[in-house]
Structure 1
Amino acid sequence: MNKILAVLAFFCGSIMFGQTSITGTVTDSSTEEPLPGVNIRVVGTSIGASTDFDGKFSMKVSEEVPFEIEITFVGYQSQTIEITADDEQMEITLTENETSLDEVVVSASRTPESIRESPVTIERIGIKELKSSTSPSFYDGLENLKGVDLNRGSLTFNSINTRGFATFSNTRFVQLVDGMDTASPALNFVIGNLVGVNELDLQSVEIIPGAASALYGANAFNGILFMTTRNPFDNQGVSSYVKTGLTMQKAAGDGAYYDIAVRYGHAFNDKFAIKATVSYLKGTDWYANDQSQYSNANTAVGEPDEVLPFRSSPAHDGINIYGDELSLGALGLDLKKLAQLGEATGAIPAGVSALVPADNVSRTGYLEQAFTDYNAESIKYDASFHYRPNGDDLEIILNTRGGYGSTIYQGTNRYNIKNFLIQQHKIEVRNKNFFVRGYMTTEDAGDSYDMLFTGLNIAKYGAQDWFGEYLEGYLNAALGGANNDQAHAQARIFADSNELTTPKPGSPLFKELFDGIVSDGDLTTGSKFIDKTSMYVGEGNYNFAHLLDDKWDLQVGGSYRQYSLNSQGTIFTDYDGPIKYGEYGIYAQAIKKLMDDRLKLQASIRYDKNEFYDGNFSPRASVTFAVDEARNHNLRTSFQTGFRYPTTQDLFIGLDASRAILVGSSPANLDRDLPNTDLTGRKVYSDSYSLSSVQAFQATGNPALLESIETELVQPERIQSYDLGYRGVFGKIYVDISGYYSNYEDFISNTFVVTPNTGTTGDASGIADLISGNVTAFQTYTNSQADISSYGGSIGLNARVLDKLDLGLSYTLAKFDFDQASDPNFSAGFNTPEHKFKISLGSQNIVGNLGFNINVRWSDEYLWQSTIANAVIPQRTVGDAQINYFVPKIKSMFKMGGANLGGHEYQSAPGSPFIGSQFFVSWVFNQ
């Protein structure tokens, strides 16, 4: 024991030997207020610290005096100070930058550069903006950035998008956290911030609208979001927050929610540091209660007050009603044919079928509320171990993070994502010149299920008796003198009154059916969403600038990615085991500065290869130029290319989505069995009728109208984009203007086809199958040959007014064009407002330690196209606000705010919930 104590004493003594203590306070030079979160670093090393809420810092370093420290903070001019004595107490003041041009970004060129030098349009928020956010979460607050759209699908799952073609399942937009792609491996899109960042650990957020494939590979197509977390060497101590508040919605009423989080970072010395964060959110999700049936793209979504129980026809199929998809028409019948069958079997008197119209009738179905408790829940955790072998900038990081929770997702159908888990594990080695990292992402769908199939399979229970009772009720009403509409209404009431054929939500029978269906992965009888897919990624980058005397910035890098699809045959055609496939990419970038660094030339190129496709080259070239010597006026222009591979679903899906069976078009998928049929993908893609021609044949009976088609297998989609921009300052006004034009090639799209089950489209056997109903509808994945382009731009103005007020104004234009005649069945799904205005006004310290911020957003109406429905989303104006008060003595900030203060509820898309108001109070503590 004495020997152990002696070793420990020697070790501790060796660490403490020769240490120099530095303490101090950092304040704003104009307001004299303390600045929390300022970085202090010993020049020439990676040793550092950051200020607390009081603006205070302290650290012990092994350097002997004299040495220098560098003080940096986003939005302020950096300082370098020489330390000449031990235990020196420092009073440091920082001067705020007159312009945002000096803010440093990394994502645009994979190397640190000021915003003025960035070759592309870029949006950034740092710690200052995070603290002043008016939204309940920083992620929701990203929609206040110019050019950024946020499509709200639930309380915890919202989708970021830029430059159009938006969906909730946004496979065109990439989201990275510390370099890791946070997309679901199976779905190929990000589930909001479910496995993102605890905002206590967030250092900065950068968003690049538009293509970025030249540096970041496939799918960095319409934009890319970078989130960087705090390093425990630089940001130590304990921080936490508690938020609570109310959600207010006409459909759901008032619901409480709360959000708590904690972060701990500690550096044991200049070699070892650890970090751990955890957060928990729980609340009631927004209800989706739109019962409308959208029959065409010109239909506008209704106001919440107008969403009342109604039926547009006896076969009404409401968008948020499930089970009404089951109809006589789907069974090859109508009400008159059902009556004639009854006459033939003697179940009803002969001759009464003359009283019955040939109407299609659907089951009544259930509101979405019957299939979910709207529990919104999210748990995020993150832990990392950091090791610097030599105490310098070489760093080894072991990191694990994960997200677990429940939310609602709207894709082909609406899904209750329940107890969903996604995890990421990473090892990374890096310094200022290179990084090498490897990570894996795994997911488990937990108890998730498809709500449409839940309703459909409950509706199958007692369906035969229900339709018989409906016919009986119709006949009784008609014989009693009721007209057709009255007879249908009375028939539905009569059929629905039998709880043995129409189980009521909450009843023992309903619960028994529900529990069995949501635990069954066979969609003919169940609705369970099974997914245990994994993704493995390795990537690296090396910058040779230090070997070239910093005359050139030359980078090379590459990545490899492998998918292992595992849905047990419920999503993909992986009936016989996981499907594995991979892709890789390599790239190079060169940057040269001329004319006293005022002119910056940049070029990059990337080569990517997926095992199913030929290799693809993605070049990018840009020029930035500072017009004046002070670099206050900066021009930029760039040519960029991008591409995206077909997603895992585009390639290997095999899913019966009720409306049609979705079948992926990977060459390796063509000979796999498809669900609920005896067909394979090869038959579907090579021997089918177009849906539009089948509809024309059914309307006219003319076989000459039938069109036999072979659907081309899906290929990678490509984009060419041209960007122009200006950044500059005029006194205290910062101006950022950008414009773009993009042209798309091989736009990935879907085609609906009808396939004869036994016959062929080339002879009478195919027509015979159509007449007898021996056909199956499929959704295939292919490329549109339409000429598609998009264009737009944005103008942003930011100014400091009356010394303390920050004013921001922005306008964004987004449009697209394509030749509909070249592909009549194609729906582009641009799904983006053409015009958007955003205004912000705030101050960090309008009076003493009191701050506030206000955000107002307006967007005009837009057409939303999706497999669920097409409809026009009305224009809307949404206002958010917050006030906050900083209490230095207890290192705390208190905030009170609200989102959608006007209370006018709105939808992002047909079928999605109407978003109400959300109010919150929070207490943030930072040691």
Structure 2
Amino acid sequence: MRMYLLFLSLFFCGLTFAQNTISGVVTDSNNQPIMGANIKIVGETVSSISGPDGSFALNSSKKPPYLINVSSVGYEAQKVTVSSNNLKVTIKLVDEETKLNEIVISASRTPERVIESPVTIERMGIQQIKSNTAPTFYDGLENLKEVHFNTSSISFKSINTRGFSSVANTRFMQLVDGMDNSSPALNFVLGNLIGLSDIDVANVELLPGASSALYGANAFNGILFMNSKNPFTNQGISTYVKYGQTNQETAGTNDYFDFGLRAATAFSKHFAAKANFNFMRATEWIASDQRSMTGGSIGHANNQNYDGLNLYGDEVTTFITNVGQVSRTGYREQDLTDNKVKNVKADFSLHFKPWANETEIILQHKIGLGSTIYQGANRYALDDFFMQQSKLEIKGKNFFARAYMTNEDAGNSYDMRFAAWNVNRAAKSDTEWFTNYATAYQLSGAVLGTNAGQSAALARNYADYNIKPAGLPFLPTPTGSARFEPGSSAFNNALKTVIADPDFTKGAKFIDHSTIYHSDVNYNFKDLLKFAEIQVGGSWRQYEMNSEGTIFTDFDGPLRYTEYGAYTQIAKKFMDDRLKFTGSVRYDKSKNFNGNVSPRVSFVYSAGATKRHNFRVSYQTGFRNPTTQDQYIGLDLGPFALIGSAPENLDRFTEIRNVSAAGQALGVPSNLTLTGQNAYTNSYTLPSVQAFSAAIAANPTNIPAAAALLKTANVGLVKPEEVKAFEVGYRSVINNDLSIDINGYYNLYNDFMNTSRVISPYYGNVNTTFDFGNPATLATLSALSNGDRRVYQVYTNTTAKITSLGFGVGLSKKVYKDFELGANYNYAEFKFNQSEDPGFVAGFNTPKHRIKASFGNAKLFENFGFNVNLRYNTEYLWQSSFADGMVPENTVVDAQINYAIPKLKSVLKVGATNIGGKDYIQVIGAGAIGQQWFATWTINP
């Protein structure tokens, strides 16, 4: 071994003998060092990379004179003549005039210029990150064309492109260094919980629209690619400190703090390592919408069945004879959580280049820990929610192969609605509370002569606080405790107990230790086959659901299922390289469903003498497999239960329901065990049962007429949804300073996935032909009339024809010297005939009109720059399982100024969001978004 090292040393010594050294530094126009610039001798393989301070050294045996080429992403390449040996040079690179020349990978899984992309693509590079007006680069994605945010929390924002999204956006994929960072159990991305730091982002690419032909299941409405810096080319220690304040009408003014540290070094040309650490804390945008979800006035003072949108516990309601529908007193969301947001991220990676070629082996581990708010069917406090990813990847010039694992732990997370219910029940059971209310209400009217409003107030006081109405001293003293007041020790103790208990009959905690195992491979034959560029690839994934029965029907152990897929793509240029054809096809198979084929065909034509006018047209398909929740959820949410539609899940889900006295009088047992089969095979549509109940209330004797309104649900088991996407576009740069991007799309959806509310009677058969002499018919109608019925939310596909269309126009121009003005407009709408599926809830959740504009100058004067962003959207309908409503139109203005200090290798930035604006919402039920200002000091960016 020692002899081997000796010969190896002599070999390298021999190579370096008689070599000349060229050294220097690479800077930008503000004299800031450029790290990672590539310096190469023209016509040779010898090259070097600039370090954190922009310096480089290049050894060569070539004799002067010769040319070196210096390039870096975001800057125009420059060639410099080397006229003598051991020369020291200073090279200043100029910002690239147009983003259209930037190189992207994601559109075709191969490097190509943005302007030649076969589909619409947006890119955020280092320069855009530096001029970002938002507190973080991730928040700044909202300023990209086609992007619309759904903000559930100050740290939980989901990306919406081309509609049909919610906070839980399972139609949009997000990849970080090639890894899908969606939650294994929830199947959607938790914002930037386990994403990248501002100082480690190399670039971001966004593909709006269907992309399943290359990226498989769930690449349905778009993909976001976030790529980090490589430690071989971006070395050194970088850090930032960010302080600011948030201001919201409900939460008031609160501190905001963010810190990041990055360390990377190449120990040799064969080995490099990188580590990142980030910590952020803030106060939540508190959700405090008090609108009544049951109609009527706000507050129990004028509405005894009041159910406030962001009050929980008041969903528990019952009908009391001679009193009416009554709900319990709820708790505000801000009483049920500490409203503190935090996020800790860390990642570590080892990079090996064992050979002289471009092959690189990467070992990477990422962790994310956070507390935030998530809105699904209920509002959830994700407290100490933990995710981690581990990856092994090998990649080269024309291939990559990666395998990774994503694991999560729900930590101390809990359902705030169940927390409120069970804090209430810890004081007094529902039965006792409603009995107290009914007794006080009826006696107040009968003995004291109070009106309905007065009786309701006295009854609630008696039920909540055990206070007997004056004049009714003979009322018994309730055995339960008085209502726990928020902030009291009794309330705090009860809440602490409830959120630590995973049994939803008396607790609110949910457990999750789910895991995803995933692998990808890709090979490009471009160096082996010259007539066209051909790629092949594939993927394999296994889901492992492990919620211990608190979310899924995995009460007897983890549930597992697999998916796999394979694809190929061919690309070829014709007509003097003016016409580029790209065709691809992919096959995917998931355990519970038939295989799916996804083709894509596109043409790009480059017109003009310099090929700057690029026209594109494409047809592609996208598909989305039902999520783990769509298939295996089994969750009792109180007023209704969520039932996944995997065939085995229908029998796995069971619950015991109490039968009313009226039902028992028909000979039905006092307790019945129901399964998921009841939801899918023995149920009526929710609207028809509501119509039936209204008809019975209006005319109790005309049962046949009311029964004729009932419609059997006929719910099919959920299957993959598909979209056929047609897109045209034009992209160009005119006179070197006017960038134009125009696109239009039309989507046709098949088997669109949705949820549906159905009602199943505890007993009877909905499929029996109505015969009022038949006991089975009478049993079914009696169950509905007696309240012996269960509401389910089931997962299925609509048969309705659904289409969506939209177009966008983006312009960017240097209007004076280095002042740049940008503007874009997006239009989006969908169509379907509601009569084809009356129970279908579209959930398009997208404004019809959106306008965005920017104005800035990165070089206003030496080392100083600024940028301003404006966003406007029209009002739009928000539909979700939590709440529906109109989101008002809003206009938001963000701005920042920055100052570079070259001697300290740092940049100071001061910015503010929602300047001068009022609090606004993007999600019905979430907290209104207030104002935020921040100051950042970044060292060695």
Moved more, 514-523 or 739-748: 514-523
Query: Is the deviation greater in 902-911 or in 243-252?
Result: 902-911
5+ unaligned residues in a row in structure 2: which ranges?
467-479, 658-672, 697-705, 769-775
* Partner residue in 1 for 2:738: 733
| Structure 1 residues 500 and 8: CA distance shift in structure 2, 3 A | farther
Cα distance in 2, alignment partners of residues 848 and 594 from structure 1: 46
Is the contact between residue 293 and residue 306 of structure 2 (CA under 8 Å) also seen in structure 1?
no
Q: 2:314 aligns with which of 324, 328, 333?
A: 324
2 CA distance for matches of 1:84 and 1:681? 81
**Is 60-69 or 210-219 further displaced after alignment?**
60-69
Matched, 1:746 2:751: yes
Instruction: Give the counterpart letter for 1:700 in structure 2.
Output: A
Which of the numbers 503, 515, 519 marks the counterpart of 1:522? 503
One-letter code of the match for 1:581?
Y
CA distance in 1, matches of 2:654, 2:7: 66
- Residue 712 (structure 2) pairs with residue 708 (structure 1): yes
Match of residue 302 from structure 1: none
Which residue does 2:685 correspond to in 1?
690
Structure 2 counterparts to residues 90-169 of structure 1, below 5 A: 90-169=89-168
Amino acid at match of 1:364: T
Q: Percent identity?
A: 46
Query: Secondary structure at the residue paired with 1:682?
Result: helix
CA contact (8 A) 2:301 2:453 kept: no
Displacement of 1:657: 1.5
Correspondent of 2:453 among 485, 495, 498: 485
Counterpart mapping for 1:491-530 below 5 A: 491-498=459-466, 500-530=481-511
Structure-2 change in CA distance of 1:15 and 1:883 (3 Å)? farther
- Residue by residue, what CA displacement relative to the aligned partner does 1:888-924 show, whole Å, maximum 9, x if unpaired? 0000000111111113101112110011001100100
When residues 68 and 534 of structure 1 are mapped into structure 2, their CA distance, relative to the original with a 3 A threshold, is: farther
1:314 corresponds to which of 301, 304, 307: 304
Q: Deviations over 1:727-775 (max 9, x none)?
A: 1122221110000000100000111111222332223232232233222
- The amino acid across from 2:674 in the alignment is L
Query: 1:51, 1:195 → 2: CA distance?
Result: 28
Matched with 2:274 is 275
Can you list the C-alpha shifts for 1:521-563, whole angstroms capped at 9, x where unaligned? 11111111110000001110000001123x4111000000000
What CA deviation, in whole Å up to 9, does each residue of 1:233-256 have, x standing for no partner? 100001010001101011011110
Deviation at 1:87, TM superposition (A): 4.3
- C-alpha distance in 2, partners of 1:178/1:64? 38
- Does residue 24 (structure 1) correspond to residue 19 (structure 2)? The answer is no
CA distance in 1, matches of 2:26, 2:655: 65
Q: Distance in 1 between matches of 2:305 and 2:747?
A: 43
Q: Quick check: 2:850–2:872 contact (8 Å CA) kept in 1?
A: yes
Distance in 1 between residues matched to 2:634 and 2:59, nearest whole Å: 60
Does the 8 Å contact 1:25/1:34 carry over to 2? no
Task: For residues 438-480 of structure 1, give each alpha carbon's deviation from its aligned partner in whole angstroms, at most 9, with x where no partner exists.
Answer: 0000000000000001001122231344334434543565344
With 80-89 and 136-145 compared, the bigger mean Cα shift is at 80-89
Query: CA 1:310 to 1:877, structure 2 compared with 1: closer, same or farther past 3 Å?
Result: farther
The equivalences for 1:176-191 within 5 A come to 176-191=175-190
Q: Report the AA paired with residue 486 of structure 1.
A: Q
The change in CA–CA distance for 1:892 and 1:491 in structure 2 (over 3 A counts) is same
Mapped to 1, the partners of 2:113 and 2:45 lie a distance apart of: 22
Q: Indicate if the aligned counterparts of 1:47 and 1:270 stay in contact, CA closer than 8 A.
A: no
Task: Quote the offset at 1:83 in angstroms.
Answer: 6.0
Cα distance in structure 2, aligned partners of 1:117 and 1:552: 16
Structure 1 counterpart of 2:202, one-letter code: Q
Matched, 1:847 2:861: yes
Of the three residues 679, 685, 697, the one matched with 2:674 is 679
SS in 2 for 1:491: helix
CA contact (8 A) 2:36 2:234 kept: no
Asked if 1 retains the 8 angstrom alpha-carbon contact of 2:30 and 2:862, the reply is no
Q: Is 1:379 paired with 2:344?
A: yes
Instruction: Tell me, yes or no, if structure 1 residue 722 matches structure 2 residue 726.
Output: yes
Cα 1:311–1:399, aligned 2, differ >3 Å: closer, same or farther?
Answer: farther
Structure 1 unaligned spans of 5+: 300-306, 338-356
Check conservation: 2:299, 2:306, Cα contact below 8 A: no
Correspondence 1:447 to 2:412: yes
The yes-or-no answer on 1:558 pairing with 2:538 is yes
Deviation at 1:86, TM superposition (A): 6.0
Give the Å deviation of 1:864: 0.2
**How far does the alpha carbon of each residue in 1:289-316 deviate from its partner, in whole angstroms, 9 at most, with x for none?**
11112458xx9xxxxxxx9866662111
Q: Distance in 1 between matches of 2:784 and 2:723?
A: 40
Q: Please say if 1:925 is aligned against 2:939.
A: yes
Is 1:599 aligned with 2:579?
yes
1:568 and 2:567 matched: no
Give the secondary structure class of the aligned counterpart of 2:377. coil
One-letter amino acid of the structure 2 residue matched with residue 692 of structure 1: P
Provide the aligned length of Structure 1 versus Structure 2: 885
Post-superposition shift, 1:399?
Answer: 0.6
**2:792 paired with 1:827:** no
1:752-767, aligned counterparts within 5 Å?
A: 752-761=757-766, 762=768, 763-764=776-777, 765-767=779-781
Decide which moves more: 676-685 or 623-632.
Answer: 676-685
Q: Secondary structure at the residue paired with 1:545?
A: coil
Name 2:852's counterpart in structure 1.
838
Say if 1:579 and 1:15 are closer, same or farther in 2 by CA, change over 3 A: farther
The alignment's C-alpha RMSD in Å is 2.5
TM-score for both structures, normalised by structure 1: 0.92
| AA at the equivalent of 1:746 | D
- Write the distance in 1 (CA, Å) between the matches of 2:397 and 2:561: 33
Aligned counterpart for 1:418 among listed residues 369, 383, 402? 383
**What residue number does 1:256 align with?**
255
Indicate the larger mover: 206-215 or 796-805. 796-805
How far apart, in 1, do the equivalents of 2:617 and 2:605 lie? 9
> Is 1:536–2:503 an aligned residue pair?
no
Change (3 A) 1:659 1:7: farther
1:390 is the counterpart of 2:355: yes
Tell me the distance in 2 between the aligned counterparts of 1:185 and 1:637: 35
**Higher deviation after alignment, 97-106 or 735-744:** 97-106
Moved more, 745-754 or 762-771: 762-771
- Structure 2 residue aligned with 1:456: 421
CA deviation after TM superposition for structure 1 residue 776, in Å: 1.5
Q: Provide the rounded CA distance (Å) in 2 between the counterparts of 1:513 and 1:73.
A: 59
Cα distance change on mapping 1:9 and 1:721 into 2, 3 Å:
closer
1:84–1:819 Cα change, 3 Å: same
For the residues of structure 2 that align with 1:250 and 1:673, how far apart are their CA atoms?
43
- Once the two structures are TM-superposed, the CA of residue 37 in structure 1 deviates from its matched residue by 3.9
CA distance in 2, matches of 1:794, 1:15: 60
1:101 shift after superposition: 1.8
Write the distance in 1 (CA, Å) between the matches of 2:61 and 2:674: 74
Which residue number in structure 2 is paired with residue 814 of structure 1? 828
1:76 Cα deviation (Å)? 2.6
Q: 1:672 to 1:800 in 2, by over 3 A?
A: same
Distance change in 2, residues 1:718/1:687 (3 Å): same
1:72 deviates by: 2.1
Deviations 1:49-78 (A, max 9, x none): 2454x6x32246687777975422333322
C-alpha distance in 2 between matches for 1:181 and 1:264 = 24
Following the alignment from structure 2 to structure 1, what is the Cα–Cα distance between the partners of residues 640 and 567?
41
Q: TM-score normalised to the size of structure 2?
A: 0.90
Q: Secondary structure at the match of 1:191?
A: coil
**1:467 and 2:465 correspond:** no
Closer, same or farther in 2 for the Cα pair 1:688/1:15, shift >3 Å? farther
Q: Pairwise mapping of residues 157-306 of structure 1 onto structure 2 (< 5 A)?
A: 157-294=156-293
